Structure 1
Amino acid sequence: MQSTDLGNKESGKIWHRKPSPATRDGIIVNIIHNTSDYHPKVLRFLNVAFDGTGDCLIAGDHQGNIYVFDLYGNRFNLVQRTAQACTALAFNLRRKSEFLVALADYSIKCFDTVTKELVSWMRGHESSVFSISVHASGKYAITTSSDTAQLWDLDTFQRKRKLNIRQSVGIQKVFFLPLSNTILSCFKDNSIFAWECDTLFCKYQLPAPPESSSILYKVFAVTRDGRILAAGGKSNHLHLWCLEARQLFRIIQMPTKVRAIRHLEFLPDSFDAGSNQVLGVLSQDGIMRFINIQTCKLLFEIGSLDEGISSSVISPHGRYIASIMENGSLNIYSVQALTQEINKPPLPLVKVIEDLPKNKLSSSDLKMKVTSGRVQQPAKSRGSKIQTRILKQDLTGDFESKKNELPDGLSKKRLQILLKGYGEYPTKYRMFIWRSLLQLPENHTAFSSLIDKGTHVTFLNLQKKYPIKSRKLLRVLQRYVLHVKCLVSFFFNSFQNSGLITLELPRMIINWCQHWFEYFPNPPINILSMIENVLAFHDKELLQHFIDHDITSQLYAWPLLETVFSEVLTREEWLKLFDNIFSNHPSFLLMTVVAYNICSRVPLLNCNLKDDFEVTILVLNRSSSDSPASASGLSSLCFHNNITYLRQTVEDMQAEVDQQRVEDEAWYQKQELLRKAEETRREMLLQEEEKIIQQRQRLAAVKRELKVKEMHLQDAARRRFLKLQQDQQEMELRRLDDEIGRKNLTENQAAVAKEMRADADAYRRKVDLEEHMFHKLIEAGETQSQKTQKWKEAEGKEFCLRSAKKASALSDASRKWFLKQEINAAVEHAENPCHEEEPRFQNEQEDSSCLPRTSHLNDSSEMHPSTQISLNRRAVEWDTTEQNLIQKVRNLRQRLTAQARHRCQTPHLLAA
């Protein structure tokens, strides 16, 4: 088993060597997605879906990464990152590159895998979408959630219809039936309805299952032809419904280890024409078991208890199975490898077929058990005691027990041994053997009545289309052929002498040409598809050559079937061929066409036309024997019951003719009455038609009036809508005006508040100022009183100062006088130094006489202490001035003394 890790790669190869899946598990590749971050972790895959071809699948993980895996081209690509988990996927749209994904936010998106762009985005669900079903045409899709189901048009991506239900009744699943226009809705109360897609008209409802075997349905599956519905739930019972008969026709009991069924899906087969016989059942233990719903045999299984399966999807052509494991990885299985042992020729088995009574079947009569052993492992099945029964409700004859019985004592098995040994039947006894094999009724009466009618007008010019040299043979052909042309011409050419046998011999149409006329006048597409499938199984190269050169089955198969090889084989070869065709199953004729092409493959591969063909019975028999039961794909072809007629005598025929004549006369009379009644009815019908025409005219007039009213209503609605828009705009404008007004009011209120705060502040400052002024006035009064007192003190001080000034003036005068006296004394002393001592003495006396006055002044100043503090400054100035004057006087006296001494010394020097 190969394993691939996607990692952070956006594209790459799925496997790096050619896969060789084992028969035991059938796994082609295991795909995991690990991140390479700092903390590595596994990204779990949640959903997977195949496209219409079955060779590509799409898968999404829980982080929203969506990958496309091309199994045919061995490539994978990252096409989208949705950043959220996907809950459902669908990849079978009409545009092959588009896919639908349901996301965790309840929306559905459509992406393109080529451009990786978003195509559309659909919303409408209110819960998680768990199912997406696409119509066979790819035009419509149904998305299902727990509370609603919605029908979408994928051309416009618009919702067409919506299915709403009560909350008490939930939805299990709503999906399209394959290849039909019917929608099947399944609810949680076990009710199942079928609806018409276009009109949503309820076509039918399935009845309730029997109470003894009633289970709550959880999962459903339908065959490709839409005829059988399989339903299961929390039980080991499976219910099979026939949708055509609308009844439960079989109940299958799974093994005891199965307690609940989680998923159901039919395994398609290219050769079963849509009537799938193999059903895949995924149980609660993670193992998916595939059973045959007819034989109830367990064919194979995938998954195990250790590596359980969470969900699984099967490709449309039935070649691959994609399963999401419980660990989050993705496994791709090969169905061919899983069924390799099953397709081998099985050992001879003895079947016991029971006929059931025609009365109503009970639920116990419908039950069938699945055998625990597999087909390819009979050793296990021997230990099982469970019996298998095949139920057939309308069984009129048992072909298996009577297939070797032929009239006239012949045995079909011995005839086949004879044919295999000699390659053909004896010419002498060929007609006898064919008549026995076909069991011809030999109805001479019908043959005589047919001959009496003469040649049909359709075949008067038959010789122009089929020119025949023998006039006798042409007349026989014109006489006997009424509804078939080239198909039976060779029968008449071989047995032209026996008219009755020649007429009844084309009874082969019933068995060997069944389903040929379903598409008349077109070729039988279903039969040609079977031939093409068998050719693809045996010679793929030749089929690919046909496809490359646009050669369809209508060119290489239908001309052979249309003429039953009469135009490509000689008479002897044709007789040998039909010896084998009449002795084998009806599918042998189709195998003959395939063998004819395989034998001619060498010239066919070298040219584009089919001109030369050879047929060998050996190759025909080999093609039929080598084709497995599933590859033959022709199980829908079977032998029809034999046609038998009562052989009557001539007398009985005559009596019957007379009676028929009487009945004819009565019939003619009745026809005349009917004709008259018909004319009456025609007149009535004409009158009714006139009334209907008038009614239609009135209806047309009413429709016109309704159309006009509708136009008026639409116009009125449009006007109301415009008025509503205008009102909304006006309301919006008023709202904006109100908003502007509110903003202006807020600004005004803010301004008023600011102004009020300013006024309050101003008032507060004013009050503070007034209070301050009041305090100042009080202080000013106190100051004034103090000033008055001070003024009085100043007046006293002024008086004192005046007194002091007068005293200082007197002192100054005395000082000036003293100074003057000193100066004079100095002058005199300079002039007369001898009389120096006397004046000094006098001056000392004078000084002593002046001192008492000064001391008196000082005492007087001491007499006024109140004024001394205020006059300190003035006193200091006066003292300083006085000291300066005294110093200057002393300096002057010293200079004068010095000058006088100098003058005194000078005369003595002059005298000497």
Structure 2
Amino acid sequence: MEKQPNEDEGEEQSENDEFEDDLQLETSSQDLDTEDEMIPSKLNILPSMPSDDAPMRKYSFKLKHDESGNILTVHHTVKEDGQLLRIQIAACCFSDQSNKLVVIDKRGNIFVFDFVRKRYWRLSIRMPKAKLIRPSPLHRNDYIVGNKLGQIYTIDVDNSIVSTCGEVCSGSIEELSWSSSLKRSRKYTTLMRFGREAVLVNLETLRVSHQLEFDESRYTLKFAGYLPNSDQFLTCFTNDSLHVWSTHSLGTLRSALPIKARDRRLRLLSAGKSVPEITLRGPIDSDVEHELAFECQDHDFADGLLLGYCFTPDGNKLCLSTLDSYFLMLSTASFDLEKIYRLSDFVLKTMAFLVQPKERILFGITGRNQAVMLDLAHTDQKLIVQRSNATSLSLSRDGKLLSIISKCGEVNVWSTCSLFNALQAQTNCISKLKCTIKQLPPLPTCTVSGCMNQEVRHLLKRDRLKAMIKEYGCYPEKYRFLIWTSLLEIPCNGSQFQSLIKLGTPQNVRNQGRNLQIQNDAHRRGVIKVWGCLSQWCKVIAYANFMPHLIYPFVKQFPKNGLVAFEVLVTLILNHFQLWFEFHPLPPSNYLAMCENLLQRSDEMLCKYYKSLEVTPKEYAWSMLSNAFAEVLEEQQWLILWDNIVTEQTFFPIFLVVAYNLIQREIILRLPDKQAIVAFFHDQNPVDMCKLLCKARKLAAKCDPTLHPQRFIQRFTPIPKGVYPKFLKYPSEWIEQQEEQTDQIIKSHQEIDARIRELELEEVKMMERLENGLKQEEHARRVKKMEELYAHTIQREQERLTCQRKMLITYQMEVRKRKSEVIAKLQESEQRRKVMEMEKDIDLLMHTIERERRRHNQEMQLAEDEIHNQEMDLLAQRYITECEGAPLSQKFYDNIQKLSQERDHLQKNLRKMTMEIVQPADSSSQMISPLLAFENSITEILREFSDIISTDRSGA
């Protein structure tokens, strides 16, 4: 198919450019990734803006005009590597205005279909791993998309942008709902469920506002959603309890247990009343019990019985479907159970109500993936919309369109008006047909799938049929099975048969059914199904190893009607085979004794021959009876034989066994041994059926009353209508013991298996230990080699280190020697520095002493001058007073001389002291003692100087 041009250009084109009925969305492999592309665990899709340069291209399509109501079929197919690849659809929904359909495939491509303008387009954004999509209640063109990674997005389909995004959880979002009064209350809160957890999310910001927590130790969440027309939401848990919660306080407002209410209603139901029943399988359908059977082991009852839910369009009713095939309607105001419907042969997984008429038309998807349309007001009216592969459905808001997603990767859009009209037309046709059938005389039919009309049975009277069988030897092939059901008076108890099917197949039957050597799989399944139903009806049949050989010929003749095959066998067991299980698991000795007695009376020679070879009735009678003569006769002969058996009395098979032995006596008497005789009764041998039947009838007519089997075998009793009578002619105590022993054996086998598993685990552990030991030994060996290598390497390194140490010691000695020299030089330099500092200090001290000396000298000079002046004054005064006429030199001559001597002596001492200080030291070893002497001499000089000064002052 070809894509159409842009809508801006395509608006002017005619409708001749429109698409075909089945719309195929073709895209090139360059635009799409492969199905196995790597998608990140978290999708970071940021809000985007539309591009003015690259507007979205829109293409035209047209709707179908199909009488079935299918107006559009969409599938996305791409061509990759030269092959066509169908991409499955992940989710779809209608807009709030019911004029658009938004489809998302599993690669994240988003397509929008406008039913008004007949255009569709693909968005430029992608949403990989999408799980569901819903129209946003806030804006007309916005849609909310949730994916399998717990992320949620709001997209604008007209502008192809992501307006908001958020991550609310880490699991797949499975439910998304909000209150219908969201806009009025302006509380943009939505409820999202992912797995067994739920959260409340703000619809504007897509952020979690509340995390709903439940006590998972008691029960876990199954589904959750908002109640219509309220701010309350509903939750259902695995214990089948319903709870209503307040959005404001997050507290429980009320709760209900619908399963218990239903069981109580059913218990209190009066005898004359019954619940409405809805059946998908028609009364004249072929044998499809294997498709309709509800196998308990195929469903998990650990999560409770509630399977799905929906609300009526007005929100007043809550509808629930259960795993045990019920449909319940509860009031959303009080949660009281109002209506119960029985779904006889199907269960509903997904449901949705049609808007008009209210609470009447229900669309759903069954457990076998069928999309159906049910009329709850008239339970016998139903329509199968899609027979297979339906996975999910959704209705538009106005109820005019229905979309169904299929497993094969396509979406079918249906017109609900056409479907409703088809349902009404079908109903009218059936009603007119029923009226016509009531007016016309009933005609005999050759089908055996349903209950036979009583008038037809009246036509097929036993006397007439006996005359026919005596005249022709068999019945017409076309009407054979119809005659059988008439002679055996088969009631066709369909509901009771379905009940037996629902009980499942016993484990013993399943185990033996795996070993059945039947080439045709359908026949093998039919044998197992009928055998399982017979075992549920009578326990002993499950332990009878010959039953598959007895059942197979009848199942082969009724390949599509297990019900008739089952009831034929039940009738034969209750009548013709009534003594077969008296001594189970041994062969029926009483029954075989009657055969032996009759053979003894008819042919004593043959009996003696059997006794001589130790051939018992088990070999020549039970070998034929246990498989209903199927091994010794070909198919047409077998049918002729059973035409006569169902016509005659219940003891007739005994005479047939004896007649077969008598007819074949010439061959038997020529057989050499017992093994050949046993093999003879397991092979097909040429036999004249007319002769065989005549012989059997003659034996029955001439039989001695004392030996006649009619004394021990009751006359024919048919199965009553609506019930299967119990068969009790078997050792029930042995069966109970057998079951107990079987349980014990199973437990023993389980214990043995557990012990074997333990031993296997121990063996595995021992092997692991052995393997680990070998690994450790190899590891140790390699480690040893590695250690040796490391040892040699370390030894070489140690030798190298020894050489380096010797070199280091030599170098250290040199360094130490150089260091000592340097230290000695440093010490000498330090000593010289100290000496220089001391010399500097001494020089400074000498300058100070010299300065002081000069100052003292000056002071002494001044003092001397002053003293001299004073002396002069005194001398002058003395001279004046005492000897005015004597000269001064004579008067003070002695004192002056004395002072001069003392001065000269003092100067001499000073020069001597100065010379001793100035002289340098001769060696460093004599440096300390001269310094001390020098310091002492300086001290002595200072002391003497002080004495001199004090002496001079005192003398003055």
TM-score range, shorter chain: 0.3 to 0.5
* TM-score relative to the length of structure 2: 0.35
* TM-score relative to the length of structure 1: 0.37
Computing the radius of gyration from Cα coordinates, the structure with the larger value is 1
